Structure 1
Amino acid sequence: MMGPVLAACLLIILSTAWISQANEALCKKDGGVCSCNNNKNSVDCSSKRLTAIPSNIPADTKKLELGYNKLSSLPNMAFHRLTKLRLLYLNDNKLQALPVGVFDHLVNLDKLYLNKNQLESLPPGIFDKLTKLTDLQLYQNKLHSLPEGVFGKLAELKTLDLQINQLRSVPKGAFDSLSSLSLVTLNDNPWDCSCNDILYLRDWIDDNKDKVTGAQDAACGDQQSKAVLEITEKDAASDCVSPNTTTAIPIGTMTPASVIYDDIHEIKVPQENFQKFLGYQEPDHLPTQPQCLMSISGYLGLMMSLMLTSAAILYVFHFLKKA
Structure 2
Amino acid sequence: MMGPVLAACLLIILSTAWISQANGATCKKDGGVCTCNDQTKNVDCSNIKLTAIPSNIPTDTDRLVLNYNKLRELEPTAFHGLSKLTLLSLQGNKLRTLPAGVFDELKNLETLYLYQNQLTSLPPGIFDKLTKLTWLDLDRNQLEFLPYGVFDKLTELKTLNLEINQLRRVPEGAFDKLQNIKDLRLEENPWDCSCRDILYLSNWIREKKGTVSNIEAAECDGGTKAVLEITEEEAAEDCVYPNTTTAIPTTIITTLASSNDDDIPELPVPQENFQKFLGYQEPDHLPTQPQCLMSISGYLGLMMSLVLTSAAILYVIHFLKKA
Q: TM-score, normalised by structure 1?
A: 0.70
Alignment correspondent of 1:283: 296
- Determine the structure 1 residue equivalent to 2:233: 234
* 2:132 paired with 1:102: no
Q: Specify whether residues 246 and 61 from structure 1 end up closer, same or farther in structure 2 by C-alpha distance, changes over 3 A only.
A: farther
C-alpha distance in structure 1 between counterparts of 2:287 and 2:136, whole Å: 32
* Gapped regions of structure 2 (runs ≥ 5): 1-21, 247-277, 298-323
Counterpart CA distance in 2 for 1:63 and 1:168 is: 34
Alignment coverage as a number of residue pairs = 248
CA separation in 2, counterparts of 1:250 and 1:100? 17
Corresponding residue of 2:161: 161
Any stretches of 5+ residues in structure 1 without a counterpart?
A: 1-21, 260-270, 285-323
Report deviation, 1:251.
Answer: 9.0
Deviation at 1:243, TM superposition (A): 3.4
Partners in 2 of 1:44 and 1:108 — Cα distance? Answer: 19
Q: How does 1:1-323 map to 2 (within 5 A)?
A: 25-39=25-39, 41-222=41-222, 225-245=224-244, 256=286, 280-283=293-296
Specify the SS of the correspondent of 2:205.
helix
Q: Deviations over 1:235-289 (max 9, x none)?
A: 0011111332379968999973556xxxxxxxxxxx8xx98xxxx54438xxxxx
TM-aligned CA distance change 1:40 to 1:23, over 3 Å: farther
Quick one: structure 1 residues 99 and 281, their matched pair in 2 at CA, closer, same or farther if it must change by over 3 Å?
closer
Letter in 2 for 1:52: A
Superposed CA deviations along residues 196-230 of structure 1, whole A, max 9, x for unmatched, are 110000011011123444444211004x6211011
User: Structure 2 length normalisation: TM-score?
Assistant: 0.70
Q: C-alpha distance in 2, partners of 1:136/1:251? A: 26
| Identity score, percent | 58
After superposition, the Cα gap between the structure-2 partners of 1:233 and 1:252, relative to the gap in structure 1 and judged at 3 Å, is closer
Larger relative contact order, structure 1 or 2 (CA cutoff 8 Å, min sep 6): 1
- Specify the code of the residue in structure 1 equivalent to 2:237: S
Query: 1:29-80 deviations in whole A, cap 9, x for unaligned?
Result: 2221000002472110011111111011111111100111110000011011
**Which deviates the most, 74-83 or 32-41?**
32-41
Distance change in 2, residues 1:24/1:38 (3 Å) = farther
CA distance in 1, matches of 2:201, 2:219: 11
| Matches of 2:284 and 2:53, distance apart in 1 | 12
Select between 192-201 and 40-49 the one with higher mean Cα deviation: 40-49
Secondary structure class of the residue paired with 2:143: coil
Judge which range, 209-218 or 144-153, deviates more: 209-218
What is the aligned partner in structure 1 of residue 320 from structure 2?
A: none
Q: Per-residue CA shift, 1:131-169, capped at 9, x if unaligned?
A: 000000000000000000000000000000000000000
Q: CA deviation at 1:129?
A: 0.5
Moved more, 199-208 or 235-244: 235-244
30-39 vs 93-102, which moves further:
30-39
Taking the aligned partners of 1:249 and 1:28, their CA distance within structure 2 comes to 41
Cα distance change on mapping 1:68 and 1:55 into 2, 3 Å: same
Q: Secondary structure of 1:88's match?
A: strand
